[in-house]
Structure 1
Amino acid sequence: MTLGATRTSDNQLTAKPLEGVQLETGGPPGPVSIAVQHLRLLGAEPSTADHDALTLTDLDGARVETRLSWGRPDSEVCDEATAQAAAGLMLVHGRRDGSPRGLAVDYVSTASGVLAVQGLLAALIGRARGTLVTSADVSLDRVALLTVSQYLAAACAEDDEASPLAPGGPPFTTADGVRFELEALDVAVWAEFWQAMRAPMQAARKGWRPFQFRYATACAPIPDELHHATLASTWAQVQAAAAESGADVCRLHTLAERSAELHGGGESTLPWELAAYPGIPAAIPARGRCSDERPLAGFTVLEAGRRVQAPLAAHLLGLLGATVVRIEPPGGDPLRGMPPTCSDISARWLALNRGKDAIEIDIKSPSDRQRLLELAADADVFLHNWAPGKAEQLGLAADTLSAANPSLIYAYTSGWAGRLPDAPMGTDFMVQARTAVGEAARPADEPPTPSLMTLLDVLGGMLGAEAILAGLLTRERTGRGVRVESSLLAAAQLLTAPALRRAHDGLPLRHPAGFRRPLPTADGLIAPADEHAVAAADTAAQVRALSTDDACAMLRGRGIITTPVTTDLTTLPTDSRFAGAMARDEHGAVAVSSPWRFR
């Protein structure tokens, strides 16, 4: 059977595992539009019939569906705005600015659309392995919690953060008005940059720790002296200091620039790349029968990941039942001890890596690299997010591993996927800066500013898991191993796509002032559903005089849906809006439950 393998050149095949599969659509418009886009790219053929769920009809007539729901039918968590408010996204995103504020992009909806595709692909893989699963439902409120799971676990841990949670952070601004992001992964580079900028070294030393941990805390209260140093310099001087020190800088690009760049052609906008290995189809490894609830049971994933993107992709595959084996350096992953901790293990590390096995391998050692090749020969997936070119330098590129295991899914989660020439370092905030996420994520009355919440690392990890599942299904249908690549750039393109469409159509690029801005009450904040935001804003004076509970009740009586904004992540495990969505693992860390329910 050769379903879904289309030749594009002499040495690769484009994988479309859903070619010939019929698609019926239905459900919340935001998540469904993302899911339909991706399912079509995988080869599914949409029908014109309306349906109440996303449903795939396979070539043999078997049907699998996913129903997407925001929460319980009576819950006020019913759309993007209320999900962001309740699950803590407004709180985490707003840390840099000192108060909760909504993301102007539909982040939860986008992530939910990607996870809906994952559920359908996993169900089809399970059916190919002998299960009878017909449904892969997705809880959008759990998806919202999943996007902040690292911050949630850290907040509920035993000790304090490694860096204070206080307002502040990049971007920096120059004397000639250029706003820019800075990246330095080493303290020596950081120090040399600020020395070249003639900033006080005491301020540079004080600023390093909050800057280093901004990925973890979503804020960076660095000294004002560092901002003053850039304000006293031109953009050309900043660039010279970066070149001298080895730091990386990127000015904040605009949506208008990004729109012109994309419509100029030449840059792929695919969310991932899938290429089946050419040649004779490989023998697919025999696996035991997986369960209906965990359709990837019996699969083995080798993960050589760091930080967020690859570890999260592997975590999602683990939630689907796969055995995940982490490849860690000698002595183990140093992030295991990153505070705050639960039972002496980093709570944040557990959020991404609980339940995984681990093997220590020195990838610089020839003998250990041979050991890794031997492990890959018996695995289903090899996943990494090493720096560009590192796999080739180590002799661990796709061609090498696929020679040892022709049925392997070789997955690379990258920053740029090689798509942009002269791109800066491929980290979350640099990609946000280069792709105008910082403008799209803020309403018109806020200056363009990349979020210090790891928006792209999380969404990029989800795209990585989606691509791997597409690769596994391709292998089931064609007998061919598949090379897959996803990127932070693709995650940025998903988030900015609506704004870029508005730019192309000559419409306002950004949402209006105050978009998704919570309303203050006498003792907290409330957030209205998007469709009720204008009506709720008209009652702002009344709301300010009432308690949060009374304000919600008053507005509910007028048919206006609102929900309290979470202002303390430690309250979420007992929040009635998320009953059953969280538990404590064996270390005492908060764990977000699987967003899927297979039946």
Structure 2
Amino acid sequence: MTGVDAGALVADHLALLAVPVQDGWADSEVRVRIDPGPAEPEAVAQAQAGLMTVHGREYGAPRRLGLDVATVATGILAAQGVLAALIARRRGLPVRGVTVRGPAGALQFVRHHLAIATGGGAFPYRPAGVPGPPFRTADGVWAEIEVLAGDDWAAFWRRLGLDGAGVVGAAWLPFVYRYLAGECRVPPELPAAFARHTLAEVRAAAEACGVAVVPVRLTPLAGVTEPWTVAPHGAATVARRAGTASPDAPLHGLRVVEVTSRLQGPLAGRLLRQLGAQVTKVEPPGGDFGRHSPPLAGEYGAAYLAYNEGKRIVEIDYKNAAGLAELGELAADADVFLHNWRPGRAEALGLDAAAVARTNPAAVYAHASGWDGISDPPCPIAGDFVVQAHAGSGALLHPPGAAPLPSRLTLVDVAGGLLAAEAVLAGLLHRERTHRGCQVGSSLIRAAAVLAASATAPWGPLDGPIETAAGHLVVGAADPVTARRLRAACGLPVTATDAEVRAGLCRGTAARWADRLPPAGVPAVEVPVGLAAVPDDPRLAGLLERAGDACWVPGVPWSFDV
């Protein structure tokens, strides 16, 4: 069992900027604290926030993730807080410390699931059928699918021998909404058709239709190291110091122009907004496709609110000359220009890093991409699930012998958004130190590598959800002291095996054990059946907030001391 420590992750990431962390102090200026200390065990954090609920939704029962994703996210949030504090100090605010609540990291992964569960809306279809892709080919290869247009989806399945709205058409909406729903159920004819063709045949059909088919790696991808990159622009400039920082808004006065869609980029923009930056999100005429996409929370899409609350929205058609000029003017006046365009798109628009630096040499130019960090991406499309497939994430998420499938939790989208925001903050600190603008890069494949480093192989009898007489229970008893306390609370001898302890826990109810074990010194939580009840958990008080007075979303995870 390896895993990751949130404090160590903070030190590793800040070391990329030569910011030392020693005895909880960053650069001898800012004290970083993760509360509570020691943090809740990873399994308890996953269960409490609902990660296990969503991860197991497609299979009818909660499941543990084999990666310490909650701990990683908490560490990245802490690193963001330190960077924001160091930036604020150079802007005149004497910040001396930053605190991150431990559960805040886990909550990032259920951001839109929480908004949907508490927003009162519904998906425009009824889930039915068998689990959707990845599917297995005739030659035994699991392969993930990504496609952006319904016509391409239909054409692909026709080439595999399926046709008609009754099967292929019925699967389209569950496939499209799988990012938001946390599950994808399709008619069984789809995996059956896939299984009649070899990987080569499936790929040939996909290439003819503009569909991405990516084999699921059975081992984690190696060779991706840094979580993000920083490269300075040319000559030194006088960096803009707009506005005045405040303890609850260390980026106040800084302007971010965000041209992104889906999850990764909007999450980065949302985090920068929570740190006090003015974020202007550029959307096409009529607005982002998610703005009014169900499930709704009030008049807006719940997921849209989860990622875009508090931003200033402007609609620009930058496919024409006038709109492109307007976008260029925004970039020329921004402290940060953030986009997640495909490779080559920025150059075609004349808004690549070099072009923006010519008009705004102090800018931090941020590209939140899909595949930056590897030289041979498997396809142009870089959705969360194809990146998980290529990165081999599933091999670490599930127990030995289980199919190495990606999680329906958008793990790399969320981790990618967290790292994109961290990269922007790294760029802003670089600018404050050197008076030079810079280009920062982050990607989904880099996020997958950061998550992979947290693998723990937690597959013992007490490591995952325990099905009790009523409900599922998760306990945190990996260390010897807590293990003895657990046995005592169960009325068992210290020599009892983990399997015997599990059997004893099964005879009670999850709610009863969740009340009884923590006072005995054993972290424990009942796994929520759904996420609608998560805001009622008193242990999460202060970590959630209302978005548009319509749904619950993760709140500001940092507090700063002056």
Q: Same fold (TM over 0.5)?
A: yes
SS of the aligned residue for 1:337 comes to: coil
TM-score where L is the length of structure 1: 0.86
Instruction: Encode CA deviations 1:150-187: one digit per residue, 9 max, x unaligned.
Output: 10000111221234456722210012111110111111
Q: Using a 3 Å threshold, how does the CA distance of structure 1 residues 514 and 337 change in structure 2: closer, same or farther? A: farther
C-alpha contact 1:242 1:249 (8 A) present in aligned 2: yes
TM-score where L is the length of structure 2: 0.92
Which amino acid in the other structure matches residue 481 of structure 1? Answer: G
C-alpha contact 1:173 1:180 (8 A) present in aligned 2: yes
SS of the aligned residue for 1:101 comes to: coil
C-alpha contact 1:519 1:525 (8 A) present in aligned 2: yes
Taking the aligned partners of 1:482 and 1:121, their CA distance within structure 2 comes to 16
The one of 67, 89, 92 aligned to 1:105: 67
SS of the aligned residue for 1:211 comes to: helix
Matching residue of 1:64: 30
Query: How far is 1:249 from its partner?
Result: 0.5
C-alpha contact 2:40 2:102 (8 A) present in aligned 1: no
Query: How far is 1:288 from its partner?
Result: 2.2
| 1:362-373 correspondence to structure 2 within 5 Å | 362-373=317-328
Query: How far is 1:443 from its partner?
Result: 1.8
C-alpha contact 1:382 1:411 (8 A) present in aligned 2: yes
| 1:465-484 correspondence to structure 2 within 5 Å | 465-484=421-440
Taking the aligned partners of 1:558 and 1:418, their CA distance within structure 2 comes to 47
Taking the aligned partners of 1:377 and 1:553, their CA distance within structure 2 comes to 56
Query: How far is 1:545 from its partner?
Result: 2.6
| 1:32-111 correspondence to structure 2 within 5 Å | 32-45=7-20, 51=23, 54-58=24-28, 63-70=29-36, 78-111=40-73
Q: Using a 3 Å threshold, how does the CA distance of structure 1 residues 298 and 91 change in structure 2: closer, same or farther? A: same
State yes or no: 1:383 paired with 2:383.
no
| 1:287-298 correspondence to structure 2 within 5 Å | 287-298=242-253
Taking the aligned partners of 1:558 and 1:379, their CA distance within structure 2 comes to 54
| 1:472-551 correspondence to structure 2 within 5 Å | 472-499=428-455, 510-512=457-459, 516-529=463-476, 531=478, 532=483, 537-551=499-513
Query: How far is 1:556 from its partner?
Result: 5.0
State yes or no: 1:580 paired with 2:538.
no
Taking the aligned partners of 2:299 and 2:515, their CA distance within structure 1 comes to 43
SS of the aligned residue for 2:549 comes to: coil
Matching residue of 1:14: none
Matching residue of 2:119: 157
Instruction: Encode CA deviations 1:469-493: one digit per residue, 9 max, x unaligned.
Output: 0100111111101101100010011
| 1:264-275 correspondence to structure 2 within 5 Å | 268-275=224-231
Taking the aligned partners of 2:107 and 2:49, their CA distance within structure 1 comes to 5
C-alpha contact 1:445 1:512 (8 A) present in aligned 2: no
Query: How far is 1:445 from its partner?
Result: 4.1
Matching residue of 2:275: 320
Matching residue of 2:493: none
Instruction: Encode CA deviations 1:124-147: one digit per residue, 9 max, x unaligned.
Output: 111111112111111111221122
Which amino acid in the other structure matches residue 520 of structure 1? Answer: E
Query: How far is 1:537 from its partner?
Result: 4.3
Matching residue of 2:491: none
Q: Using a 3 Å threshold, how does the CA distance of structure 1 residues 530 and 482 change in structure 2: closer, same or farther? A: farther
State yes or no: 1:198 paired with 2:161.
yes
Taking the aligned partners of 1:95 and 1:429, their CA distance within structure 2 comes to 16
Instruction: Encode CA deviations 1:493-526: one digit per residue, 9 max, x unaligned.
Output: 1111255xxxxxxxxx955466742001222110
Taking the aligned partners of 1:551 and 1:535, their CA distance within structure 2 comes to 18
Q: Using a 3 Å threshold, how does the CA distance of structure 1 residues 172 and 297 change in structure 2: closer, same or farther? A: same
Instruction: Encode CA deviations 1:355-404: one digit per residue, 9 max, x unaligned.
Output: 00011111111111111111112110010001111111111111111111
C-alpha contact 2:373 2:446 (8 A) present in aligned 1: no
| 1:183-582 correspondence to structure 2 within 5 Å | 183-201=146-164, 202-255=166-219, 258-259=221-222, 262=223, 268-279=224-235, 281-417=236-372, 419-424=374-379, 425-499=381-455, 510-512=457-459, 516-529=463-476, 531=478, 532=483, 537-553=499-515, 555-556=517-518, 560-582=522-544
Report the number of matched residues: 541
Taking the aligned partners of 1:446 and 1:530, their CA distance within structure 2 comes to 25
Q: Using a 3 Å threshold, how does the CA distance of structure 1 residues 537 and 145 change in structure 2: closer, same or farther? A: farther
SS of the aligned residue for 2:291 comes to: helix
Which amino acid in the other structure matches residue 36 of structure 1? Answer: A
C-alpha contact 1:211 1:220 (8 A) present in aligned 2: yes
Unaligned runs of 5+ in 1: 1-27, 263-267, 500-508
C-alpha contact 1:325 1:357 (8 A) present in aligned 2: yes
Which amino acid in the other structure matches residue 345 of structure 1? Answer: Y
Q: Using a 3 Å threshold, how does the CA distance of structure 1 residues 114 and 377 change in structure 2: closer, same or farther? A: same
Q: Using a 3 Å threshold, how does the CA distance of structure 1 residues 352 and 286 change in structure 2: closer, same or farther? A: same
Query: How far is 1:88 from its partner?
Result: 0.3
Q: Using a 3 Å threshold, how does the CA distance of structure 1 residues 46 and 69 change in structure 2: closer, same or farther? A: closer
Q: Using a 3 Å threshold, how does the CA distance of structure 1 residues 310 and 515 change in structure 2: closer, same or farther? A: farther
C-alpha contact 2:4 2:453 (8 A) present in aligned 1: no
* CA RMSD across the alignment: 2.1
Taking the aligned partners of 1:252 and 1:174, their CA distance within structure 2 comes to 11
SS of the aligned residue for 1:43 comes to: coil
Taking the aligned partners of 2:398 and 2:516, their CA distance within structure 1 comes to 29
Structure with larger RCO (C-alpha < 8 A, sep 6+): 2
